[in-house]
Amino acid sequence: MEFATHPATNQLIPSVKQAIVDNSNRVYGTYKDLKIPQTAPVQWTTPADEKGEPQHRLLNAQALYTQHCLMCHGVNGAGDGPQAHILNPKPRDFRLGIVKYTSTEVGQKASTDDLQNVIKNGIAGTGMPAFKGLGNHEIAQIVDYVKYLALRGDTERVVSIEAAVDFSEAQASKGNRQDLLEEANRFIEEDMPPIYDEESERLFDIWKKADSPSQIVEPEGLPPAPTESSLAEPSILSIENGRRLYLSKKGQCASCHGETGKGDGEQTTQFHKRPDGSNYEEPGLHDAWGHVVKPRDLTYGVFHGGRRPIDIYRRIYAGVKGTPMPAYGTSGLSEAEIWDLVNYLLYLAGDFPEISQETFSH
């Protein structure tokens, strides 16, 4: 087995494509000879080796990943393993560096704890199982390898996209190819190595930042009970205000999840645009990987990111990363309003059976 090149790399002229591969191997090694800079956000073993340098744990981690993860997530972590075609939703492609369900702030990567939680507890309602039989040390090693695949793939992707501005096959077809090849050779020799190193270090720092306590979404107060007064609108109950927000233009939850929470809102039947401005061929919402995503049927009672109140609070506050689910914590909803929404979503999911529809009738 060997790592395959990223689709973005395959759009480049041959010499630049080969340079991308060479630099990726220089920084991250090959499948049979893994390496990673010491500044990377993975754990290192002690004592040091005979050269006085610490050793990463990726070799053992690769073996664990191969045993437990490769069949779905694939060699590259591209979500294209042998079993991927039978799964819906599809296994995560790690190469964008995006994890959907996190505890971190808007725009931040997943924390180490987030990744450990996903591996240990799985993702309810999907093909991602809970690996509760693995020890904490084994889970930690798999997390390191997932980060490795994300860093390797994301670095290659970003550098390839940057190189494609001048050195894609599409660009080569527009002008003098010989002049382009000469310019490409200068780029390969002078610019690409430092660009690759700088991009790697930039991504290392972003992943490290996600483990900072300051980047964890932690509400300041405790939520009210659903039948207590709303902290945002004291004249009505928390669950009543949650329903109002759910149906309002401010919340706009019903446009995707539907008025009754069945995941059948109007956005699911409309055609939407890709990031490049072109239209998707299929109607409905799409995620960052180009897959159609159905908004959660809230009445089913299964939440991919966990159904604890704090889990749902974080989904509303920071959104679901890589999907159209927005981050309401940065778009106008207060903490008190988010807690009201949490109470109403749990009601839709079947919690609080003692609360009748008459509560909302007025």
> What pLDDT score was predicted for residue 107?
93
Residue (of 237, 243, 232) closest to 332 by Cα position: 232
> What pLDDT score was predicted for residue 51?
64
Contact 108, 314 (CB under 8 A): no
- Digits of tens for pLDDT over the chain (362 positions)? 899 999 999 999 999 999 999 999 999 999 999 999 999 999 887 655 556 667 788 989 999 999 999 999 999 999 999 999 999 889 999 999 999 999 999 999 999 999 999 999 999 999 999 999 999 999 999 999 999 999 999 999 999 999 999 999 998 888 788 889 999 999 999 999 999 999 999 999 999 999 999 999 999 989 999 999 999 999 999 999 999 999 999 999 999 999 999 999 999 999 999 988 899 999 999 999 999 999 999 999 999 999 999 999 999 999 999 999 999 998 889 999 999 999 999 999 999 999 998 888 75
Report the first-to-last Cα separation within the chain, whole angstroms: 64
Sign of CA dihedral 70, 73, 74, 77: negative
Cβ-in-10-Å burial (0-12, 13-18, 19+) of 214 comes to exposed
Contact 293, 89 (CB under 8 A): yes
Contact 3, 25 (CB under 8 A): no
> What pLDDT score was predicted for residue 45?
76
Give the Å distances, CA to CA, from 212 to 42, 96, 108, 306, 327: 15, 21, 10, 22, 20
pLDDT, one tens digit per residue, over 245-302 is 999 999 999 999 999 999 999 999 999 999 888 999 999 999 999 999 999 999 999 9
Angle 5-195-97 (CA atoms, 0-180°, nearest 5)?
A: 55
> What pLDDT score was predicted for residue 26?
97
Contact 229, 344 (CB under 8 A): no
52: left (phi over 0), alpha (psi -120 to 50) or beta: left
Please tell me what DSSP assigns to residue 150.
Answer: H
Q: In sequence order, what DSSP letters do the residues of 300-362 get, joined into one string?
A: G---TT--SHHHHHHHHHH--TTSS---GGGTT--HHHHHHHHHHHHHHTT--TT--GGGG--
pTM given for the model:
0.93
Beta strands in the chain (DSSP E): 29-30, 33-34, 44-45, 55-56, 285-286, 292-293
> What span, in angstroms and rounded, lies between the C-alpha atoms of 70 and 84?
10
> What pLDDT score was predicted for residue 1?
85
Sign of CA dihedral 70, 74, 77, 78: negative
> What span, in angstroms and rounded, lies between the C-alpha atoms of 131 and 121?
7
* Structure tokens given for 166: 């001048």
Let me know how many helices (H) and strands (E) the chain has, helices first: 12, 6
